[in-house]
Chain A
Amino acid sequence: MTSRWIVAAGFACAVLPGLAAAATLDDVKARGALHCGTAPNIPGYAFTDDKGDRRGFDIDLCKAMAAAIFGDANKFKLTPVGPRDAFAALQTAAVDILTHRFTWTYNRDAGSGLNFTRVMFYDGQGFMVRKSLNVKSVNELNGASICVGQGTTTELNIADYFRSHSMKYTIVTFADLDEARRAYDEGRCDSWSNDRGSLAARGLGLKNRDDHVILPETISKEPIAPMVRQGDSQWEDIARWTFDALIAAEELGITSANVDELKAKSENPEIKRLLGVTDDLGQKNGLPASWAYDAIKQVGNYGEIFERHLGPKTRLGMSRGQNALWTNGGMMMAPPFR
C-alpha cells in the first residue's frame, strides 16, 4: 500500500511539470483541435446566433489559427470564459489562446505568466447617455452616477478621468456587463460606460436604442489583443504571425474570394512568399507551407472579418476608425513577410 503511494506520488511529481512544459503546438496537433477561450456572450465579437452557431470577430480569429495549423478552420473548440476565470484557464492550459476582449496593460502582461500577441482591435472607453439629458460631452457629467460592468479596466479609467477633471461621480459596478446596461436602462444611472465596441454591441439590448447617444469623448486607450501563455515563444510566434498574415493580406489586396487566383497568377513577390508559392515560411514555425493561404481562404483577411461582424453593414454599425490600415490613416500594420 505505502510503496504504491510513493510510486504514485513520484510519478505525479515527475510527469505533471513535464506535461505542461511540452510545446503547445505539439499538444494542439496531437489533440487535433485548437482550444480557444472567448467571451461568453457579446454581439459582434463572440455570441450565439439564431441557429445556435457561435459567431463573431473573436471567433474568426480562433478559426484563422485553426486553419493555419490544421488547414481546416473547423478544428477548434470554444470555451466561453468570463473575465474572472479567463487568465486561470490559460495559465492552467485549459485553453491554448484567449481570443477575448482583454486590454493590453502592463499589469496583465508583466508577472502574470501570460503574453499579449498583437493588437487586433483598438478600442477606447466611451459613455452613453439619454438624449433627454441634453449632455454633449463627458465633461458635463459632474456628479453623475455611472453604471459599469466589471472585468476590464473600466472602473479605473473612470476614476482617473473624473478625478483629473475635478469632477464628482458615483460608480455602480455590476459583475455582469449586461446587468449594467439593464440597470442604466431602468434609470439607476445617468450614464453607462464601457469600451465603445461594447457600447455598440450591447447597446442593441436597450429598450429603445434611439433614445440614447454615445458621447464623443474616448477616455482611455484599450488595445485589445489575444493572449497566450508565457514561455513558449514558438506558439506566441504562430499566433502573432497568423494575425499579422490576416492584416498583410488586406494590405496586399488578398481576399478569401481572390486568394486562389492570386496564388496561381500573382507576380508580387510578397504575395508569393506569404501564400507559400516561392518560400516556405510556415515550416520555420512548424506549420504547413499553406498556413497563411488556408487562413485567408477559409476565414478572410482582417478587413473581411471586421466588415462581417462589426462593420457598417452589421447591426453594430462601427466604422474602421483606428482599426483601418495604416495606409488609410488607421493603426493596423503588419510587419513585412520576408
Chain B
Amino acid sequence: MRAVFVQASVAAAVAAIAYFFVHNSLENLERLNVKTGFQFLARPAGFGITQHLIPYDEDSSYGRAFLVALLNTLLVSAISVVLATIIGFTVGLARLSRNWLVAKLATAYVETIRNVPLLLHLFFWYFAVLRPLPGPRQSVVFGGVAFLNNRGLYLPAPILEPGFAAIPIALLVAGLATGALVWWSRRTRLRTGRHHSVIWYAIVLLIGLPFVADVLAGFPIGWDIPRLAGFNFQGGVVVIHEFVALTVGLSIYSAAYVAEIVRAGVLAVPKGQVEAARSLGLRPGQVNRLVVVPQALRVIVPPLTSQYLNLTKNSSLAAAIAYPEIMLVFAGTVLNQTGQPFEVMTITMAVYLGLSLIISLVMNWYNRRITLKERTS
C-alpha cells in the first residue's frame, strides 16, 4: 500500500513539473507575441527538394515537404542498417579468423574507422566521390543507358504500360511457391531425415515465372533512358551523390561498432559448446550456424539495438552534405521560412523519438524470440 502511494506521488510530481514547464512556455510565448500552432503545415512550401520518393514540387505543402524529408531519413537509415549489419558481421567474424592476415585487416578496419568522427567520414566520402568524377558532358557511360558524372548516377527508369501488373503477380506466385517448397523440404527432413535441396527450383521459379509473364503480357515495361539536355541529364532516375556518400559513410562507420559487438557475442559462447558440437560430428559450418550463432545472438542483439538507434539518429548529420533529410529540410529550411521553431523542433524530436521507439520495439521482440528457452522435459 505504501509502495503504491510513493509511486503515485512520484508520478504526480513528474506530471506537475511537466505541466509547469509546458504552461510556462506557452505563457511566455504568448507574452513575447509569438504565434503558435500547426496551421503552417498546410501552407505551400515553395522551395525545391533534390530527392523525393513521393511526388513533390514547389506548390506542395510544408506537411508534404515534411513527409518527403521523413521518407528520405527512413530510406537512408534502413539501407544503412542492412549494410552496416552485413559489413559488421563479416568484419567481426574476420577478426576472430585463424588466418593472421584476415584477422589483422579486420582489426585495422575497426580501429581506424571508429576512431574518426562520423562527420569527417561523411565529408571524406562526399568529396572523395565528387572530386574524381567528370562533368555531365564527359559522363562515364554504361552500355549507353546509364551515366555517371559529378551530378549523380543516372539510370533508366521503368515506364509501366497496361498489363505490367502480370509481372508483380507472377513474382508473388513464385514467392509463395518457393515458400511452400521450403516448408515441404523442412517437413520431409524432420520426418524422414532425408534432405531435398530446393534452391535450384526456387531460382527457376523466381526468375522464370516473371519472365514468362513479361513475354505473355507483351513486354509491358518500357524504359525512360536519361539524355543530356542543356546543363544536365533529363529523364530516368538519378541516384544523387549525397545519398551515396551518406549511406556509405554511415554504414562503414557503424559497421566498425557492429563488428566489435559481434566479436564480443561470439567470444561469449563457452568454448565447450564448440568442442561438444564438434565431437557430435557437426561440420564447421554447422557448428557456427546451429551452435555458436544462436547463442551469440543473445549477447549481440541488445547492444546491436543501441547501434541501430545511433545510426538512425546519426543520419541527421547528413545536413552537412546536402542530403535532404528531416534535419536539413524540416528543421532547416521549413523552420527558417516559417519562423516557427517551437513547433518544428517539437515535431522533429517526436520523429526521432518515434523512430527510436519503433526500432527498440522490433529489436526487443526479436530479442525475446531468440532468448535461450530452457526446456524442462
- Most chain A beta carbons < 10 A, residue from B135, B319, B339: B339
Contact B27 A17 (CB under 8 A): yes
Asked if B58 is at the interface of the complex by the 8 Å CB criterion, the answer is yes
Chain A neighbourhood of B336, CB < 8 A:
83-84, 150-153
Name B residues whose Cβ lies closer than 8 Å to a Cβ of A.
Answer: 20, 24, 27-29, 31-35, 46-50, 58, 126-127, 130-131, 133, 135, 150-151, 229-232, 234, 241-242, 319-322, 324, 327-329, 331-333, 335-339, 341
Asked if A160 is at the interface of the complex by the 8 Å CB criterion, the answer is yes
Chain B neighbourhood of A171, CB < 8 A:
47-50
Chain A contacts with B in 1-38, Cβ cutoff 8 A = 9, 12-13, 16-17, 20-21
Contact A84 B32 (CB under 8 A): no
Chain B neighbourhood of A17, CB < 8 A:
27-28, 31
Asked if A46 is at the interface of the complex by the 8 Å CB criterion, the answer is no
Q: Quick one: CB contact mask for A141-173 with B, threshold 8 Å, 1 for yes?
A: 111110100111101101110010000111111
Contact A170 B48 (CB under 8 A): yes
Contact A150 B135 (CB under 8 A): no
Contact residue among A112, A113, A142, A163 (Cβ-Cβ distance under 8 Å from B58): A163
Contact A107 B328 (CB under 8 A): no
Chain B neighbourhood of A163, CB < 8 A:
58
Contact B231 A145 (CB under 8 A): yes
User: Which listed segment binds B: A50-58, A182-190, A198-206, A233-241?
Assistant: A182-190
How many residues of chain A have a CB within 8 Å of chain B? 53
Contact A187 B130 (CB under 8 A): yes
Contact B332 A150 (CB under 8 A): yes
Contact residue among A84, A174, A230, A231 (Cβ-Cβ distance under 8 Å from B322): A174
Q: How far is the CA of A159 from the CA of B48 in the complex (A)?
A: 7
Asked if A336 is at the interface of the complex by the 8 Å CB criterion, the answer is no
Given the known interface contacts A17-B28, A144-B232, the answer about A186 and B150 at a Cβ–Cβ threshold of 8 Å is yes
Contact B48 A155 (CB under 8 A): yes
Contact B234 A143 (CB under 8 A): yes
Contact B150 A88 (CB under 8 A): no
Closest to A189 in B: B151
Q: With contacts A20-B31, A112-B35, A170-B50 known, what are 13 further pairs, Cβ within 8 A?
A: A17-B27, A91-B32, A111-B34, A144-B230, A150-B336, A151-B336, A156-B46, A172-B322, A173-B50, A174-B321, A186-B131, A188-B130, A190-B231
Min Cβ gap A277→B in Å is 39
Chain A neighbourhood of B232, CB < 8 A:
143-145, 170, 190
Asked if A313 is at the interface of the complex by the 8 Å CB criterion, the answer is no
Asked if A229 is at the interface of the complex by the 8 Å CB criterion, the answer is yes
Closest to A83 in B: B336
Contact residue among B131, B229, B328 (Cβ-Cβ distance under 8 Å from A150): B328
Chain B neighbourhood of A176, CB < 8 A:
320
Chain A neighbourhood of B34, CB < 8 A:
91, 111-113
The 8 closest A-B pairs by CB, nearest first: A111-B35, A175-B319, A143-B230, A113-B32, A155-B47, A113-B34, A171-B48, A187-B150
